[in-house]
Amino acid sequence: MHTILYPTKDKWEGITGRPHIDASQLCENVSAILSEIRKRGDEAVKEYEEMFDGIRPEQLAVTEKEMAEAERLVSPELAEAIATAHHNIRKFHESQRFTGNKVETMPGVECWQKSVPIEKVGLYVPGGTAPLFSTVLMLATPAKIAGCRDIIMCTPPARDGKINPAILVAARIAGVSRIYKAGGVQAIGAMAYGTETVPKVYKIFGPGNQYVMAAKQQVGIADVAIDMPAGPSEVCVVADASATPEFIAADLLSQAEHGTDSQVLLITTDRHLISNVEKEIKQQLENLPRKEFAEKALDNSKAVLVETLDEAMELVNAYAPEHLIIQTENYNETAEKVINAGSVFLGKYACESAGDYASGTNHTLPTHGYATAYSGVNLDSYCRKITFQHLSEQGVRSIGRAVEIMAAAEQLDGHKNAMTVRIEHINR
């Protein structure tokens, strides 16, 4: 990690920047792949699967036989852990149900909202270097609670042509309707446009690398809605002298092992903590099977020493982290200063892993600074709010003249007339 001591505000932009690749070339490559998926459907998806994942699936759809085999392969211990996580995720998201209230804005004018599920949703679950079956639970559980009619999922197969059995078991527990063997840009294109096998959906959910994020943004312009821009993962830890270096090092490494383009950031008011955390990182790194990924991610990462916790939180809000861990003596007080963050973990025992798997909160969160404007996935992500209004004769009397005046001022005589004919009808 790069250590930065007492940076002035004019240096903050460099601290809060994310690692990236040439976006122009990336977007060209993504656009070319999406174009082929749109034109050639299944055949193009299979070709890109062979090119990028090293396997050409005979068929894209996962069969019932494959689902049954997966259930036999997953250990009872893992199946129980998945069920526990699903229970907590369901419980937390069920608490988010919307209750609409009728409001009488003026006598005779009633307005209200109704929450309606999105009928067809597509879930993207990365495969890559780790089988993220936890993401299946995070995406499918709220979709099922919301009442989405068709929940389809795309995830890349391994080189043996199979999907990790834990992913399939999690999909069944969480209520996924259909599963397809497709990853990366080709999966996003298949769900956005539809192919002979993969149905077109109305909204796409799920994290991924910069190519997946670019694909989601491109199809989101005109073809399908998306949850949020969600690229390489990141964590920020804010700590003071009361923090435990062993815990902080573990938290930083748990994020760094995601991939070489992940980023971790430590902001502290205690200079000794930085050196103690670095020692712990070196020790713990030796025991990580994904050591190579973590080391490269740490090259993109920083430890920043600041004067006060107020300054630390100001820097946090400028960074807008996907995950924010607060290990300070008065963490509740510090948390009051959070403005921009995806998900926040309070106290020394609230590791990010808890939220990633089983506390119940959702781990599909805005990255790359998008926490300034986006929420993480929640029950509302799978719903639309339809507004209703009813006017009685009294309602027309209450607001009719205001509508006429405003429509006339905007020179929209048709709008004015729609109200005028009703006023005249009532006054006859």
The tens digit of pLDDT for each residue in 288-305 reads 888 888 888 888 889 999
CB count within 10 Å of CB 283 equals 11
- For residue 128, pLDDT over 70 is answered with no
Q: Which residue has the tokens 């391994």?
A: 158
User: Are the C-beta atoms of residues 298 and 247 closer than 8 Å to each other?
Assistant: no
The reply to whether 24 sits in an annotated binding site is no
The reply to whether 124 sits in an annotated binding site is yes
- For residue 263, pLDDT over 80 is answered with yes
Identify which has the larger pLDDT, 286 or 144: 144
Type of residue found at 98: F
The reply to whether 255 sits in an annotated binding site is yes
The conformation of residue 10, written as its DSSP 8-state character, comes to G
- For residue 260, pLDDT over 80 is answered with no
The tens digit of pLDDT for each residue in 320-330 reads 999 999 999 99
Q: Output the pLDDT for position 297.
A: 80
Q: Output the pLDDT for position 400.
A: 97
How far apart are alpha carbons 176 and 174 in whole angstroms?
A: 6
Q: Which residues contact 255 (CB under 8 A, 6 or more apart)?
A: 233, 234, 235, 262, 264, 297, 323, 352
Where along the chain do its domains lie? 23-104+117-227, 232-375, 392-427
Q: Which residues pair with 387 in a beta bridge?
A: 113
Count of alpha carbons within 13 angstroms of residue 236, beta-carbon side: 30
Q: Give the CATH number of domain 23-104+117-227.
A: 3.40.50.1980
Could you tell me the pLDDT band of residue 352, with boundaries at 50, 70 and 90?
Answer: very high
User: Is the pTM for the entire model greater than 0.85?
Assistant: yes
Once rounded to an integer, what is the mean pLDDT over residues 365-372? 92
Q: Which residue has the tokens 């991939």?
A: 259
Lowest-confidence range among 37-51, 238-252, 278-292? 278-292
> Kind of pairing, strands 178-181 and 150-155?
parallel
* Residues marked as catalytic: 322-323
Q: Output the pLDDT for position 292.
A: 84
Q: Output the pLDDT for position 293.
A: 83
- For residue 421, pLDDT over 90 is answered with yes
Domain 392-427 CATH assignment equals 3.40.50.620: no
How far apart are alpha carbons 284 and 278 in whole angstroms?
A: 10
Identify which has the larger pLDDT, 110 or 22: 110
23-104+117-227 and 392-427, same CATH topology: no
Q: Output the pLDDT for position 23.
A: 74
Once rounded to an integer, what is the mean pLDDT over residues 155-176? 95
Once rounded to an integer, what is the mean pLDDT over residues 178-192? 97
CB count within 10 Å of CB 386 equals 11
Measuring CA to CA, which residue among 251, 263, 236 is closest to residue 354?
251
- For residue 129, pLDDT over 70 is answered with no
- For residue 186, pLDDT over 80 is answered with yes
Could you tell me the pLDDT band of residue 152, with boundaries at 50, 70 and 90?
Answer: very high
Q: Output the pLDDT for position 21.
A: 63
The reply to whether 415 sits in an annotated binding site is yes
User: Which CATH number is 232-375's, of 3.90.850.10, 3.30.70.3450, 3.40.50.1980, 3.40.30.10?
Assistant: 3.40.50.1980
- For residue 20, pLDDT over 90 is answered with no
- For residue 65, pLDDT over 70 is answered with yes
Q: Which residues contact 282 (CB under 8 A, 6 or more apart)?
A: none
How far apart are alpha carbons 30 and 48 in whole angstroms?
A: 12
